[in-house]
Amino acid sequence: MVDSDTDVKGLNDAGNFCGNSYNPPSAFVSIGGTVSSVVVPGAVSTNMNDINNLNECVGTYQIADRGFGFRRAADGALTYPILAPGAEFTILRGVNDKGRMVGSVLKDYVYQAVYFPSPGAFAIYDYPGAVETDFTGINNRNLICGSYVMPSESGGLVTRGIIVRAKTATSD
């Protein structure tokens, strides 16, 4: 199931973790020392990117030339597809204990950051003037980390980190 060619992508406070194996390619989660493969039905590839303290995981899977996000509940049930309509790819990179998810979408050849307060609702974020924006994690206070890419004065590109706060309808 998990071989020596692995990449751990997420770790929670209990020491449970998730990630990807590359030989053969597969996603996995380890909860309480039990390792399980994660496969989205019909996917040609599945990648696991984060796990919260409730043992919910998020990741991305691919079917043909499109990518979609998914969430795995602690009991193994999958919620998919999670996507931003119109995007070629939706990549989920982080999930907090409230189930709020972050990542990026590829739309019209541009990566934009995305925040999902739930699987059916989303907000796109572009850093002003950036050519690319990505969210990589979210904590339980709804602080989101990520990065953006800007043109530099020398004509190249420069990547900078960001921290933003997700506004929610409730006071949490």
pLDDT one-digit tens code per residue, 36-56: 999 999 999 999 999 999 999
Q: With a cut of 50, list the residues of the chain below it in pLDDT.
A: 1-2, 171
Residue 24 confidence (pLDDT): 76
Residue 25 confidence (pLDDT): 81
Residue 28 tokens, joined: 């996995």
Q: State in Å, rounded, how far the first CA of the chain is from the last one.
A: 39
pTM: 0.92
Residue 5 confidence (pLDDT): 87
Fold classification of 6-165 is: Neuraminidase (2.120.10)
Residue 21 tokens, joined: 């194996």
Residue 93 tokens, joined: 């990179």
Contact 35, 19 (CB under 8 A): no
Residue 77 confidence (pLDDT): 97
Q: Where are the domains of the chain?
A: 6-165
Residue 4 confidence (pLDDT): 63
Residue 118 confidence (pLDDT): 94
Residue 1 confidence (pLDDT): 47
Residue 23 confidence (pLDDT): 78
Residue with tokens 């998914």: 70
